Amino acid sequence: MHAIRRTLFGMLAAGLAAASLGAAGTASAQFGSSPSYGLNTSYGFENPVPSAVPLWSAELDKPSGTDRILFPPVVGAKTVYYIKNGTLNACSIATGKTLWTFGAKLQQGAAVVAGSYVYAGSADGTVYRVNASSGAGTRLYRTKDKTLGSLKTDASGDLGGSSLYVSSNTGLAAIDLATGKLKWTASGDAAGHNETIMLDDMLLVGTFESGAITVNTYYAIDKATGKTLWKLEGSHNKLLKADGDRLYFNNDWPRNDTSTHVATVDTVNAKTGKVTGSRQYVNVSTALDPLYQAPKFVTVDGNDIYVLTQDNSIFSYNLNDDPDVVAAGGVSDRGDFIAGPYDGKMFFQNPNNLGIHGRKLADQSTVYYEGLDNPASRVDFINAGMYVGQTDGEIYSLNVSTGKAKFRFQTQARNFGPFQVAGRTLLVQAEGKLYAFALPEELAKPLVTGSTGAFVKAQAGLIIDGKEKQFQPGMMTQSNRMFVPMRFLMETIGAKVSYDAASKQVRITYGTTAFIIKEDSAFATQDGKQVPLSYAPATLNGSLYVPIGDIGKLLGIGVVWEPGPRNVVITTSTKAK
């Protein structure tokens, strides 16, 4: 009987210990036993996500080599193209049926679509133009050094003025897509080792150069002539944004123990290649040597720049704001950052590496993504869809806004190419297999973007110098801040409002006071100085909204929020007009 009791109590204790651990890992080394480890990954629920059945599947070349490189298929309007065993295959997206094949000894990844033709190349530098309907092809060009790097095109719609760019080990060639004739060849500077970025009238060819130190740089190549326009001095590893004649680059010059900031962004004149401005972001932490505080990740979305530090903190700024004046925004999370921003969120692996959640930039609230239960191997965002391939081979299709999973499917892969969408069809490259799935309509729709999603209509009254007014349009609220329609309020109190379309700036004049504000910029300019705002002005439904408290301080008028009757009370009597 005593033995039974001891056994029962032992089982109960073990159960309680396991319950308290949850999904945490446990290590043990009991007397007389070998060390062991177990990760408790069991869940108290069944996975509710429905399993999908592919529309069709096709065999691809399996990745080889230690890097396991996957070459994504090329997707056209109704056809997907891929090179298998050196042959170009055209496959119907609707049925999976092979429509035609072309060539031999073609190079993996060397295929692009432009207009009614597919362009494919072989390792000996030969480029072919293939009719997308019939599969009939002809030789178009061969590189001088008989090597092939990549094929790229700037075609969009009408092929007039568009080119096919053929890179090799020693240079770059441009072919006119309308005539099929060679436009120019360039060597030296045009033979980059990194990405090639296509801008309106130039190519930015990324490369690295070694000397006393190794630096990353870009050469600007004239699209019309192939001539080198300029070389970017210093070391820059990423173009963050192109805005007319202004280019924003991440400056990755080697750090030292006197570095004061985590990230540096340089503004470059697109015509001359000269650095015209530079801003530094995020003070280095005193807890770590500055030499080891290079940013993990820097990106620009619209006018906002995001910096991921070595301790996994994310800081955000507006490109127009002086970071020494306007305090940084940011996101704090215990998970590992994996992607963002998208749909107003940053995305993180859960702390136990099982699953993904999104953190909203507007209010820091969390969106959890249904069904995910293994580490993510690949994550892509397309329109309203979020597509995840896990290391256990399972793929998920989810609504990025709600976190609701629409379907899942088990593959035998551990590595995935980019998820691609053609109309209502999702194409999944799972190592040596290509799958097609019917896509729910809600995921195929374009993502609703803009600031409005973070704002909520607010019911509030307006009293100015004792007289009741009615907001036209109404007030909005976001993160416990009250926003008012700027033009309506200014004109109601008698201020003058002028708008400069070129700079997209609004100038407010009220008596002897004047200041300038700009959409999405969290500062006002007053007397030539930047004055920080609590939140950047935002355009909502065609009207510019501003934080009511900030406007009161800038104008020198009294602004009081009465929470009971929900009134904004403005007193202007103390302000000389």
What is the rounded (10 degree) CA torsion for 90, 95, 96, 101? -30
Read off the pLDDT of residues 96-152 as tens digits, 9 standing for 90 and up: 999 999 999 999 999 999 999 999 999 999 999 999 999 999 999 999 999 999 999
523: phi then psi, degrees, rounded to nearest 5: -150, 155
Residue 14 has pLDDT above 70, yes or no: no
pLDDT average, residue stretch 236-246: 95
What's the mean per-residue pLDDT of the chain? 87
pLDDT average, residue stretch 483-500: 86
Q: Which residues, 6+ apart, have CB-to-CB distance to 537 below 8 Å?
A: 486, 506, 517, 518, 519, 520, 521, 544, 545, 546, 547
Asked if 409 and 394 touch (Cβ cutoff 8 Å), the reply is: yes
Domains 333-449 and 454-571 share a fold: no
pLDDT score, position 159: 60
466: phi then psi, degrees, rounded to nearest 5: 85, -5
Residue 175 has pLDDT above 80, yes or no: yes
Closest CA to 197 of 235, 250, 152, 166: 152
Residue 454 has pLDDT above 80, yes or no: no
Higher pLDDT, 574 or 440: 440
pLDDT score, position 4: 45
Closest CA to 193 of 211, 229, 226, 169: 169
Read off the pLDDT of residues 439-449 as tens digits, 9 standing for 90 and up: 999 999 988 65
What is the chain's alpha carbon radius of gyration, rounded to the nearest angstrom?
29
Confidence category of residue 158, pLDDT binned at 50, 70, 90? low
Higher pLDDT, 459 or 309: 309
Distances 352 to 41, 485, 559 between C-alpha atoms, Å? 9, 45, 47
Q: Write down the domain spans for the chain.
A: 2-39, 73-191, 192-331, 333-449, 454-571
Share of the chain above pLDDT 70, in %: 89
Q: What is the pTM of this model?
A: 0.80
pLDDT average, residue stretch 68-92: 95
Phi-psi region of 200 (alpha: psi -120 to 50; beta: other; left: phi over 0): alpha
Q: Does domain 454-571 have CATH number 3.30.457.10?
A: yes
Phi-psi region of 293 (alpha: psi -120 to 50; beta: other; left: phi over 0): alpha
pLDDT average, residue stretch 393-403: 97
**73-191 adopts what CATH topology?**
Lipocalin (2.40.128)
pLDDT score, position 449: 55
Distances 332 to 295, 300, 322, 407 between C-alpha atoms, Å? 16, 18, 22, 30
pLDDT score, position 473: 85
pLDDT score, position 9: 44
CA gap 44, 42 in Å, rounded: 7
Read off the pLDDT of residues 25-50 as tens digits, 9 standing for 90 and up: 566 556 667 887 776 655 556 789 99
Confidence category of residue 245, pLDDT binned at 50, 70, 90? very high
pLDDT score, position 456: 76
Find where tokens 């040597």 sit: 289
Read off the pLDDT of residues 297-326 as tens digits, 9 standing for 90 and up: 999 998 889 999 998 899 999 888 889 888
Residue 520 has pLDDT above 70, yes or no: yes
CA gap 353, 340 in Å, rounded: 17
Say whether 574 sits in a helix, a strand or coil. coil
The letter for the amino acid at 488 is F
pLDDT average, residue stretch 219-233: 95
pLDDT score, position 143: 94
Higher pLDDT, 482 or 319: 319
Confidence category of residue 413, pLDDT binned at 50, 70, 90? very high
Residue 431 has pLDDT above 50, yes or no: yes
pLDDT score, position 576: 45
Residue 211 has pLDDT above 60, yes or no: yes
pLDDT score, position 27: 62
- Contacts from 230-236 at CB under 8 Å and sequence distance 24+? 230/272, 230/273, 230/274, 231/189, 231/273, 232/268, 232/273, 233/273, 233/275, 234/266, 234/275, 236/266
pLDDT score, position 10: 46
**333-449 adopts what CATH topology?**
Lipocalin (2.40.128)
CA gap 371, 355 in Å, rounded: 8
pLDDT score, position 188: 78
Strands 467-469 and 461-464: antiparallel
The CATH number that domain 192-331 falls under is 2.40.128.630
